[in-house]
Amino acid sequence: MTHTVEDPGTFFPLAKETAENLPAGLTVHQVLPAADGSRAHCLWEAPSVDDVRNLIDPATVGISVNEYFEVNPDEAIGLP
């Protein structure tokens, strides 16, 4: 997923807290913030994209705009 971060000072501490307290069945493998904090790419493992969306969107209202997509494992490079 990709975040366009509107409030880095709130977003990144929230991301860390969320990653440490995930519901069963969800795993975040990577959080890759831009050097300037304006964007972040996150790699999730979940039963569905909607499971991630339902966790992240309510928590990030007003602090990031989120784009979700399912990874094509046949074309991906470096998956865990």
Task: Give tens-digit pLDDT for 32-78.
Answer: 999 999 999 999 999 999 999 999 999 999 999 999 999 999 999 99
Task: Give tens-digit pLDDT for 20-29.
Answer: 999 999 999 9
Distance of alpha carbon 75 from alpha carbon 35, whole angstroms: 27
pTM: 0.92
Question: Please, which residues have CB within 8 angstroms of residue 27's CB and are 6 or more apart in sequence?
Answer: 44, 45, 46
The answer on pLDDT for 79 being more than 90 is no
pLDDT value at position 80? 80
Q: First CA to last CA across the chain, in angstroms?
A: 16
Burial string for 46-76 (b: 16+ CB within 10 Å, else e) reads: beeeeebeebbeeebeebbebeeeeeeeeee
